[in-house]
């Protein structure tokens, strides 16, 4: 049976719209996906030509409301600066649309809580980026951990950083920062693998107070460096190292230490390059190459469209996005106050095992018993 076409309205025609999401839409069209970009918005009127070059003569408006309320839009793709995500997502859900919002879904926890509630009542699905749990490497690592191949999970480490964008002053303004932009990937991966966190503390700061952004000098007003300590309960701790402070590194993105072995993701969690596994019973490192080197971090769009067309629930949930945001906001607060703060929200982590394969004893939290 032919699928009904999902009509996409894009809000924010900047860097990720121009490259990664346009490429993802082209890949989906080439693979026969029934999608069409029908509208786009950017506060900068000069970006109309960027949208039209890519998608032809579509509705373009500098007022995002015209896109999210358009009867010709089913799915709103929110690709603006982070500080605008919450407001636009809310308007789109209220208009009954499906929403894929880049990370984080909001920069305020109370607004994010409203979005989660709204998504339960809304006709539309809400999928908050990042989409790291969709990568084949992540899913295979998750299966192996949950099957008990490294025994009981005891400890974890994660890292993601780079020099930081040379565009977009908002990255370095209040509501921006490296935790929301970069740490979000690690916090999403770790919580998806280990389950909900219970407590967080952090050291955060501004390591480079001055930068050249969009060709002009600016004072950095959002934290650009963080070491976040996450307590998963039962004395299982993880550390996330993130910042616009790193030129290069060669350590794994994610390291999970178990009572019988270690598993570590190579590359970055938004761009994995396979994984390595140490098992005491094997007694040697085993290297598993990336099975899909072309896996794109924009894959959430494909997943969401398929869920809409097949009436399925997305693997990526608003509750997980909210949990990740609570960890990041409280890590920021902990960085300022020196406290360790409790994490109150819970979510059900995804499981990629077949139902008859579940080995809950190896998990800190059993996804089936949340
Ligand atoms: N740049 C990356 O490598 C990358 C990777 C993954 C995810 N992301 C996420 O994607 C989003 C966009 O990043 P970017 O690098 O493309 O930023 P960008 O600054 O290049 O583009 C953002 C665009 O949004 C527009 N905009 C701002 N407010 C708006 C509003 N109210 N209505 C309509 N348009 C508005 C801006 O004019 C700009 O064109 C961010 O949330 C970022 O965290 C970026």
> Ligand 1, closest atom to CA 14?
21
Predicted confidence at residue 370, as pLDDT, reads: 43
Three-class SS of residue 280? coil
Confidence of residue 362 (pLDDT cuts 50, 70, 90): low
User: DSSP state, 82?
Assistant: G
In the chain, CATH 3.30.360.10 sits at 133-296+315-369
150 lines ligand 1 (CB under 6 A): no
Averaged confidence pLDDT in the chain: 95
> How far is Cα 41 from Cα 48, in angstroms, rounded to an integer?
8
CATH architecture of 133-296+315-369: 2-Layer Sandwich (3.30)
Predicted local distance difference test score (pLDDT) of residue 28: 98
pLDDT given at position 59: 98
Position 369 scores a pLDDT of 45
pLDDT value of position 298: 98
Atom of ligand 1 nearest to the CA of 82: 41
Which DSSP symbol is given to 163? S
Task: Say what percent of the chain tops pLDDT 70.
Answer: 96
For ligand 1, mutation pick of 9, 65, 80, 242 (most atoms within 8 Å of CB): 80
Given this model, what pLDDT does residue 360 score?
53
Q: Counting atoms of ligand 1 from 1, which one is nearest the CA of 13?
A: 39
pLDDT tens figures, 7-48: 999 999 999 999 999 999 999 999 999 999 999 999 999 999
pLDDT digits (tens, 9 = 90+) for 85-107: 999 999 999 999 999 999 999 99
8 A C-beta contact, residue 185 and residue 129: no
366 has a pLDDT exceeding 80: no
In sequence order, the 6+-apart residues with CB closer than 8 A to the CB of 160 are 182, 183, 185, 186, 242, 253, 268, 269, 270
> How many Å lie between the centroid of ligand 1 and the Cα of residue 349?
28
64 lines ligand 1 (CB under 6 A): yes
So what's the pLDDT on residue 364?
59
- What is the tens place of the pLDDT at every residue in 166-193? 999 999 999 999 999 999 999 999 999 9
For 280-325, the pLDDT digits (tens) are: 999 999 999 999 999 999 999 999 999 999 999 999 999 999 999 9
Could you tell me where in the chain the CATH 3.40.50.720 domains are found?
A: 6-128
Fold of 6-128: Rossmann fold (3.40.50)
Hey, CA dihedral for 247, 248, 254, 256, is it positive or negative? negative
- Determine whether the shortest distance from the Cβ of 181 to ligand 1 is under 6 A: yes
* DSSP string of 98-161, one letter each residue: EEEEPSPS-SSHHHHHHHHHHHHHSSS-EEESP-GGGSHHHHHHHHHHHTTTT-SEEEEEEEEE
Cα–Cα distance measured from residue 283 to residue 235, given in angstroms and rounded to the nearest whole number: 26
Tell which residue, 101, 104, 99, 83, has the closest CA to residue 327.
Answer: 104
pLDDT tens readout for residues 203-238: 999 999 999 999 999 999 999 999 999 999 999 999
* CA–CA dist 123, 200 (Å, integer): 34
Buried-state track 62-84, b at ≥16 Cβ within 10 A, e below 16 = eebeebbbbeebbbbbbbbbbbb
């Amino acid at each position: 049976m032919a699928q009904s076409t999902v009509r996409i309205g894009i809000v924010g025609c900047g860097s990720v719209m121009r490259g990664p999401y346009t490429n993802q839409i082209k890949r989906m069209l080439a693979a026969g996906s029934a999608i069409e970009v029908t509208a786009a918005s950017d506060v900068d009127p000069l970006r109309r030509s960027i949208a039209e070059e890519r998608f032809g003569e579509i509705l373009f408006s500098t007022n995002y409301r015209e896109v999210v309320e358009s009867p010709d839009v089913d799915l709103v793709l929110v690709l603006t600066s982070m500080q605008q995500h919450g407001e636009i997502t809310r308007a789109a859900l209220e208009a009954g649309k499906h929403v894929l919002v880049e990370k984080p879904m909001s920069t305020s926890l109370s607004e994010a809580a409203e979005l989660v509630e709204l998504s339960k009542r809304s006709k539309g699905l809400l999928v908050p980026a990042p989409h790291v749990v969709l990568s084949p490497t992540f899913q295979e690592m998750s299966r192996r951990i949950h099957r008990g191949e490294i025994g009981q999970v005891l400890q974890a480490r994660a890292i993601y950083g780079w020099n930081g964008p040379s565009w977009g002053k908002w990255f370095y303004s209040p509501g921006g920062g490296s935790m929301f932009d970069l740490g979000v990937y690690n916090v999403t991966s770790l919580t998806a693998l280990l389950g909900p966190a219970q407590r967080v503390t952090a050291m955060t700061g501004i390591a480079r107070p001055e930068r050249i952004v969009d060709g002009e000098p600016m004072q950095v007003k959002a934290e650009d460096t963080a070491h976040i300590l996450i307590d998963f309960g039962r004395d299982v701790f993880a550390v996330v190292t993130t910042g616009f402070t790193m030129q290069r590194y060669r350590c794994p993105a994610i390291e999970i230490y178990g009572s019988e072995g270690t598993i570590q993701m190579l590359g970055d969690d938004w761009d994995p390059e396979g994984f390595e596994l140490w098992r005491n019973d094997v007694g040697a490192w085993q290297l598993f190459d990336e099975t899909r080197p072309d896996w794109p971090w924009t894959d959430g769009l494909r997943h969401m469209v398929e869920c809409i067309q097949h009436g399925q629930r997305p693997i990526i949930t608003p509750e997980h996005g909210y949990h990740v945001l609570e960890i990041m906001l409280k890590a920021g607060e902990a960085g300022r106050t020196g406290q360790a703060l409790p994490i109150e929200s819970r979510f059900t982590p995804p499981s990629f095992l077949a139902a008859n394969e579940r080995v809950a004893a190896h998990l800190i939290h059993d996804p089936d018993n949340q």
